[in-house]
Amino acid sequence: MAGKESVIHTMVTIDWRIRRIGQTVFTVWAVITLSFALVRLMPGSIMGSMVSRLAQQGYNPAQIRELIDSRLTIDPDQPIPAAYAEYTINMLQGNLGESVYYAEPVVDILARALPWTLFVLSWAVFISFFIGIAVGALMAYWEGGKLDVGLTSYAVVIGSIPYYVLAILLLIFLAYHGPFPSSGRQPAGVEPGFTWVYISGIIEHAALPIISMLVASGVASLGMRGNSIRVLGEDYLRVARLRGLSDIRISTQYVSRNAILPMYTTFLISIGEMFGGSVVLEQVFQYRGLGFYLFSALNQRDYPLMMGGFVVITVAIVIALLIADLTYSLVDPRAGGQNNESY
């Protein structure tokens, strides 16, 4: 009987994972279709605007067709079904067209910018959740005390500050009137390489963007506090106190370890949110990452770069959510059955 239940549970798990992957594939397809619609089908479309602009610049119809085909990966003379099929194939092959403003393939621009954005986001997410988890566990363990009141006030204030407001304040006080650089992503005049001068320069340029995103630690600490308070009522914590374990050890090793599990999905979702936040943040610090080029494309009406950045950010968020769903049962085995039953 137990073996039969195990087989059924495995089949349900596989079925749920297949459907979840199918949802991800459908979402990616929908994003590609939406980008095609924005280029081709909407009234006053991007392609129509490019045709008018190129015509005003003196290009003949044949040249206009060639330029649009190379930059948007769409032949304006093709029927919509054929153009859509070709556009989708190009997208799946990584051909995102050519930037109008920078005059180079969009995929090359995004490939150079993405590592810098990931560098800032990875450290910002890691530090934010590390602070949030530690502070939230302490708040819950001394619930109602002065420490809880003080840290809760800190978390509410920090979590309420928009990241771009903090970024501007940091730019004024720590860049214009402080030791940190106000723009750029690497030290000027220094040869790239694994040298302390170059690495420390990269850290200095990334420091203020990373600190600006630490406002997420306030929300994380409040979430951790709520989870920890629920955990504090468990019987194994009473046993730990009877064994004479210190409060610090109980709050960090017992409370945190179990309360952190529900925050795993929030952790990965926050990566997607920070991708969106990078658009404004990188513009504030002139940090040439993915968000910087997306904002630049918007200002320059560089439609291929704009749509390529839109697709990349959306796919990154979708993949982060997929990883969260597929790996949550590995992080917390108790949730495996619940996830499967909910679908």
**Domains in the chain with CATH codes:** 106-303 (1.10.3720.10)
Query: What's residue 3's pLDDT?
Result: 62
pLDDT exceeding 90 applies to what percent of the chain?
A: 16
Q: Which of 10-19, 149-158, 239-248, 325-334 has the lowest mean pLDDT?
A: 325-334
The band of 340, judged by pLDDT with boundaries at 50, 70 and 90, is very low
Query: What's residue 94's pLDDT?
Result: 84
Dig out the tokens for 11 from the structure. 């089949």
Dig out the tokens for 305 from the structure. 């770069």
Helices (H), 41-98: 46-56, 61-72, 80-92
- Rounded CA gap, 195 and 305, in Å? 33
Dig out the tokens for 206 from the structure. 């990334």
Check: CB of residue 292 under 8 Å from CB of residue 282.
yes
Query: What's residue 193's pLDDT?
Result: 84
- The residue type at 319: I
Q: Using the predicted structure, report yes or no on whether residue 251 has a pLDDT greater than 80.
A: no
Q: Using the predicted structure, report yes or no on whether residue 295 has a pLDDT greater than 60.
A: yes
* pLDDT tens for each residue of 164-212: 899 999 999 999 888 899 888 888 888 888 889 999 999 999 999 999 9
Q: What is the mean pLDDT of residues 219-246?
A: 80
* pTM check: above 0.85: no
The band of 287, judged by pLDDT with boundaries at 50, 70 and 90, is very high
Q: Using the predicted structure, report yes or no on whether residue 237 has a pLDDT greater than 80.
A: no
Query: What's residue 338's pLDDT?
Result: 46
- Rounded CA gap, 46 and 302, in Å? 10
Dig out the tokens for 245 from the structure. 């374990």
Dig out the tokens for 327 from the structure. 């790996």
- Rounded CA gap, 213 and 271, in Å? 11
Q: Specify which of 35-39, 51-55, 196-200, 322-326 reaches the highest per-range mean pLDDT.
A: 196-200
* pLDDT tens for each residue of 52-89: 777 777 788 777 777 777 777 776 667 888 888 888 88
Query: What's residue 342's pLDDT?
Result: 38
- Rounded CA gap, 163 and 301, in Å? 26
* pLDDT tens for each residue of 99-134: 888 888 899 999 999 999 989 988 998 899 889 888
Q: Using the predicted structure, report yes or no on whether residue 46 has a pLDDT greater than 60.
A: yes
Check: CB of residue 113 under 8 Å from CB of residue 288.
yes
Query: What's residue 341's pLDDT?
Result: 41
- Rounded CA gap, 34 and 30, in Å? 6
Residue 16: alpha-carbon gap to chain centroid: 25
Instruction: Choose among 50, 45, 49: nearest CA to 80.
Output: 45
Query: What's residue 332's pLDDT?
Result: 62
